[in-house]
């Protein structure tokens, strides 16, 4: 008997013994150790707990296994989003590494630490494609591109789950939020989403499909109303696409109360109706709200729901428990000492943070010359552990964070560092300390300024309408810029900020996201040239909020704006140059494109060659370019390949990322970088929602970012 058939037959045996109440109990997830938790567990009235860990989890598990009628173990879940105790950069920062290997390692470390506290299940990766940085949850995902998000999402699934979910150091992953949640109108969290099916299938669904193919054990339905049907009651996305088209056999959990939130959505009349709609759509487990436990028995008695729905849901839940090996090993009993913050965990977090930082400007200010006398370290985020942890870092501890101030003091000697926070905190408008600051930095040879957003400005329900630096941080920059000393800004944030007002005032700008526990040493490594920056933007950076949504894989329109179009028109109001898809008052282009990032050397791309200029359907093409490190330092280039389908039966984006490689090169060295493209990689959904590759002409770029590159052309014929 294979493992799968033995699990299915064990489920059959168990299902045959379960009462309806016990089955419904499995479908409920309770948050926290509520007052009557033990009694509920004892009567088999709950399948999972959220946010119960360690000793509490052990005790509830003991009751479930020893004192409930059938001894079915509980499942303990928690948001282990970018680390457990060792906090890695926020997922958006991890995406900026363009390095699936370090992302996989980050998830492995998080799983290992979480499992030591009896956790079996994390609610990550968040695979929502985010085209709007006003949306605070952009921090939790991998940015705007479906290909990059899929690669990183798969790496996270592999890192959390490993080869075998039964490994005591691995935990189940959860693909969320299914689906379209990030397209919230106006970037306002929980808002309505309208996504045409073609866009849904080409942009929003592919990362989820990749996660399902990678074997993700669970998936979370979302809060949003998608094209009029809330995603937690959406049979089209949850049954037709997920189960029927993709063959997902894992477990679907709702988001927190998202089942009963179908009432204010105006989709369910009451909790009973909400339960019926969520179950019929395929939500197996209800997170927090209890409409299932309250109403399913009567829904079945009244013939509204078939008992088959319940059996299918419970089967999915039990399958997960069997796969995790909980019936054999309900309690891990691992000593967290020696696991939490282990040396190799901290090392991986430091590498991840280092690779996540994106150098956006450098006018010979970096790396810092170690020969200088004193360095001023300024800014409200220079020594703020909480903020560098970022959002969703429940188990991370501020006092365990190595801040940039601490790391620079350690690297250079405390006596060479002059520190001043500048402002009491990053949102503060209190500028009373600025005159003193100007004096304090007087003796310094260079200034490193830590500004940005505090952790609490991103994450769930933390959308912003203004994306400039909060508080009086711009005034702080003005004071420092006026000193004439080399000024290096390190920006920490949970999203892309609008940097236009400050860019000209600084000599260098390093974007560090919220870099996690080891953010300080990682940033110090880069500032001091111990390592060269290698992060690349996983999102387009706008010049102004008014340009949003702004993303690289847009459609051309019938009137594309030429690159040399003046941003403020100089001609008459009827000047035909202005009748294009741009703005009167701001350049149509981004401040920084997707995929952008500088380093301490320069790279040259040359000699693009394609294996063929004409290929048949089902065939493969290779594209090669030579990359040369033309500078004086070793560094890593993230080489990217983009494609454009010139004419389609539906219009196609002006570019789409199809691959990337991190290439390390010594100064003066050259290397050929080769990508392989199969015609299937060029498929999209036509008007009839068939996924096809259409014959015709294509452009291809091997490029340093989405707005540049060596361009080649090829054609796909009708047949091979
Ligand atoms: C609500 C969030 O939307 C979701 O991402 C999270 O996993 C759950 N709460 C559980 O905390």
Q: How far apart are CA 256 and CA 234, in angstroms?
A: 16
Q: What pLDDT, on the 0 to 100 scale, is given for residue 11? A: 98
Q: Is the pTM of this model over 0.75?
A: yes
Q: Where are the beta strands (DSSP E) in 494-591?
A: 508-511
Atom of ligand 1 nearest to the CA of 176: 5
Atom of ligand 1 nearest to the CA of 77: 10
Alpha carbons within 13 angstroms on the beta-carbon side of residue 495 total 30
Our measurement of the distance from residue 366's CA atom to the centroid of its chain's CA atoms, rounded to an integer in Å, reads 28
Higher pLDDT: 515 or 562? It is: 515
Q: What is the DSSP string of 108-161?
A: HHHHHHHHTTT--EE---B------TTSGGGGGS--S-HHHHHHHHHHHHHHHH
- The model's confidence at residue 566, banded by pLDDT at 50, 70 and 90, is low
Question: Nearest to residue 381, comparing CAs of 450, 448, 468?
Answer: 450
Q: Among 123, 176, 219, say which to mutate for ligand 1: greatest number of ligand atoms within 8 Å of CB.
A: 123
Beta-strand pair 28-31/286-287 = parallel
Q: How far apart are CA 166 and CA 120, in angstroms?
A: 10
Residue 496 and residue 468 in contact, taking contact as beta carbons nearer than 8 Å: no
Give the residue extent of every domain in the chain: 603-716
Is 79 near ligand 1, meaning CB less than 6 Å away?
yes
Is 460 near ligand 1, meaning CB less than 6 Å away?
yes
Structure tokens at 160: 């959390």
Residue 615 and residue 621 in contact, taking contact as beta carbons nearer than 8 Å: yes
94-115 pLDDT tens trace: 999 999 999 999 999 999 999 9
The CATH code of the domain at 603-716 is 2.60.40.10
Nearest CA to ligand 1 atom 7: 123
Nearest CA to ligand 1 atom 11: 79
Atom of ligand 1 nearest to the CA of 177: 5
Is 256 near ligand 1, meaning CB less than 6 Å away?
yes
Active centre residues (catalytic): 255
Q: What is the DSSP string of 169-218?
A: T--B-EEEEETTGGG-GGG-TT--B---HHHIIIIISHHHHHHHHTT-SE
Q: What pLDDT, on the 0 to 100 scale, is given for residue 585? A: 84
Residue corresponding to tokens 């058939």: 5
Beta bridge partners of 609: 624
Res 564 pLDDT > 90: no
Alpha carbon of 70 to ligand 1 centroid (Å): 30
Q: Where are the beta strands (DSSP E) in 188-327?
A: 218-221, 225-226, 229-230, 251-253, 286-287
Is 255 near ligand 1, meaning CB less than 6 Å away?
yes
- The model's confidence at residue 455, banded by pLDDT at 50, 70 and 90, is very high
Is 140 near ligand 1, meaning CB less than 6 Å away?
no
Is 596 near ligand 1, meaning CB less than 6 Å away?
no
Alpha carbon of 365 to ligand 1 centroid (Å): 42
Nearest CA to ligand 1 atom 4: 255
Convert 123-159 to b/e letters by CB count within 10 Å (16 or more is b): bbbbbbbbbbbbbbbbbbbbbbbbbbbbbbbbbbbbb
SS3 content of the chain, % helix, strand, coil (to 5): 35, 20, 45
Alpha carbon of 305 to ligand 1 centroid (Å): 27
Res 549 pLDDT > 90: yes
- The model's confidence at residue 5, banded by pLDDT at 50, 70 and 90, is confident
Q: How far apart are CA 708 and CA 591, in angstroms?
A: 14
359-386 pLDDT tens trace: 999 999 999 998 889 999 999 999 999 9
Q: Among 220, 258, 285, say which to mutate for ligand 1: greatest number of ligand atoms within 8 Å of CB.
A: 220
134-179 pLDDT tens trace: 999 999 999 999 999 999 999 999 999 999 999 999 999 999 999 9
* Mean pLDDT of the region 285-297: 98
Alpha carbon of 315 to ligand 1 centroid (Å): 24
Q: Among 121, 252, 255, 287, say which to mutate for ligand 1: greatest number of ligand atoms within 8 Å of CB.
A: 255
Alpha carbon of 255 to ligand 1 centroid (Å): 6
Residue 696 and residue 646 in contact, taking contact as beta carbons nearer than 8 Å: yes
Alpha carbons within 13 angstroms on the beta-carbon side of residue 371 total 0
Is 394 near ligand 1, meaning CB less than 6 Å away?
no
- The Cβ of residue 680 has, within 10 Å, a number of other Cβ atoms equal to 12
Atom of ligand 1 nearest to the CA of 174: 7
Alpha carbon of 345 to ligand 1 centroid (Å): 25
Res 3 pLDDT > 90: no
Q: Mean pLDDT, the chain, as a whole number?
A: 96
Nearest CA to ligand 1 atom 3: 255
Alpha carbon of 220 to ligand 1 centroid (Å): 9
Structure tokens at 572: 């008459």
Q: How far apart are CA 421 and CA 414, in angstroms?
A: 16
Q: Among 138, 287, 458, 461, say which to mutate for ligand 1: greatest number of ligand atoms within 8 Å of CB.
A: 287
- Of the chain, the end-to-end C-alpha distance in Å amounts to 43
Query: Is the preceding peptide bond at 566 cis, omega within 30 degrees of 0?
Result: no
234-272 pLDDT tens trace: 999 999 999 999 999 999 999 999 999 999 999 999 999
Nearest CA to ligand 1 atom 1: 256
Is 288 near ligand 1, meaning CB less than 6 Å away?
no
Alpha carbon of 321 to ligand 1 centroid (Å): 21
Is 462 near ligand 1, meaning CB less than 6 Å away?
no
Beta bridge partners of 492: 452
Residue corresponding to tokens 């060029």: 682
Residue corresponding to tokens 């109360």: 257
34-70 pLDDT tens trace: 999 999 999 999 999 999 999 999 999 999 999 999 9
Beta-strand pair 487-492/508-511 = parallel
688-701 pLDDT tens trace: 999 999 999 999 99
With a CB cutoff of 8 Å and minimum separation 6, the contacts of 337 are none
* Mean pLDDT of the region 567-571: 55
């Amino acid at each position: 008997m294979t493992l799968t058939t033995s699990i299915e037959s064990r489920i059959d045996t168990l299902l045959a013994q379960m009462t309806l109440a016990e089955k419904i109990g499995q479908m409920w997830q309770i948050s926290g150790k509520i007052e009557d938790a033990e009694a509920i567990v004892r009567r088999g009235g709950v399948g999972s707990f959220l946010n119960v860990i360690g000793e509490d989890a052990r005790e509830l598990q003991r009751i479930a296994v020893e004192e409930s009628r059938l001894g079915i173990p509980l499942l303990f879940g928690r948001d282990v989003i970018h680390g457990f105790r060792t906090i890695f950069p926020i997922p958006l920062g991890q995406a900026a590494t363009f390095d699936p290997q370090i992302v996989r390692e980050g998830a492995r470390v998080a799983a290992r630490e979480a499992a030591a506290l009896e956790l079996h299940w994390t609610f990550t990766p968040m695979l929502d494609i985010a085209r709007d940085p006003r949306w605070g949850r952009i921090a939790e995902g991998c940015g705007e591109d479906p290909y990059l998000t899929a690669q990183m999402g798969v790496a996270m699934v592999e890192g959390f789950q490993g080869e075998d979910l039964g490994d005591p150091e691995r935990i189940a992953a959860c693909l969320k939020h299914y689906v379209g949640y990030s397209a919230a109108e106006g970037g306002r969290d929980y808002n309505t989403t309208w996504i045409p099916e073609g866009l849904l299938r080409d942009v929003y669904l592919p990362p989820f499909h990749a996660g399902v193919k990678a074997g993700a054990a669970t998936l979370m339905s979302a809060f949003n109303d998608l094209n009029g049907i809330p995603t937690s009651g959406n049979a089209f996305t949850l049954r037709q696409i997920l189960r029927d088209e993709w063959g997902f056999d894992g477990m679907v959990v709702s988001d927190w109360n998202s089942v009963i939130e179908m009432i204010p959505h105006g989709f369910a009349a009451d909790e009973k109706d909400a339960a019926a709609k969520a179950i019929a759509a395929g939500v197996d487990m209800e997170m927090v709200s209890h409409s299932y436990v309250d109403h399913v028995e009567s829904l079945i008695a009244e013939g509204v729901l078939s008992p088959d729905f319940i059996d299918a849901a419970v089967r999915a839940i039990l399958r997960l428990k069997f796969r995790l090996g909980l019936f054999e090993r309900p309690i891990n009993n691992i000593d967290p000492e020696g696991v939490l913050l282990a040396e190799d965990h901290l090392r991986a977090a430091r590498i991840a943070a280092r690779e996540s930082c994106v150098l956006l400007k450098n006018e010979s200010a970096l790396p810092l010359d170690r020969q200088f006398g004193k360095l001023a370290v300024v800014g409200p985020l220079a020594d703020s552990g909480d903020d560098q942890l970022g959002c969703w870092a429940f188990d991370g501890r501020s006092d365990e964070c190595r801040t940039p101030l601490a790391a620079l003091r350690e690297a250079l000697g405390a006596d060479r560092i002059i520190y001043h926070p500048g402002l009491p905190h990053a949102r503060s408008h209190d500028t009373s300390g600025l005159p003193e600051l100007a004096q304090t930095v007087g003796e310094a040879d260079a200034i490193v300024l830590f500004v940005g957003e505090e952790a609490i400005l991103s994450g769930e329900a933390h959308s912003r309408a203004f994306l400039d630096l909060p508080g009086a941080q711009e005034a702080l920059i003005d004071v420092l810029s006026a000193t004439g000393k080399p000024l290096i800004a390190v920006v920490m944030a949970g999203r892309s900020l609008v940097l236009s007002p400050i860019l000209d005032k600084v000599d260098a700008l390093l974007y560090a996201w919220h870099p996690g526990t080891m953010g300080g040493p990682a940033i110090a490594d880069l500032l001091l040239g111990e390592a060269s920056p290698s992060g690349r933007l996983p999102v387009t950076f706008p010049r102004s909020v008014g340009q949003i949504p702004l993303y690289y894989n847009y459609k051309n329109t019938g009137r594309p704006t030429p690159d040399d179009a003046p941003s403020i028109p100089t001609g008459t109001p009827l000047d035909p140059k202005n009748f294009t898809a741009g703005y009167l008052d701001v350049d149509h282009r981004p401040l920084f494109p997707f995929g952008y990032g500088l380093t301490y050397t320069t790279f040259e791309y040359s000699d693009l060659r394609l294996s063929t200029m004409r290929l048949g359907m089902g065939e493969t093409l290779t594209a090669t370019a030579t990359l040369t490190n033309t500078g004086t330092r070793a560094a890593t280039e993230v080489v990217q390949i983009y494609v454009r389908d010139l004419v389609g039966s539906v219009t196609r984006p002006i570019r789409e990322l199809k691959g990337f490689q991190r290439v390390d090169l010594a100064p003066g060295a050259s290397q050929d970088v080769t990508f392989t493209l199969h015609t299937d990689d060029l498929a999209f959904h036509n008007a009839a929602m068939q996924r096809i590759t259409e014959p015709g002409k294509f452009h291809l770029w091997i490029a340093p970012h989405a707005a540049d590159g060596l361009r080649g052309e090829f054609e796909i014929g009708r047949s091979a």
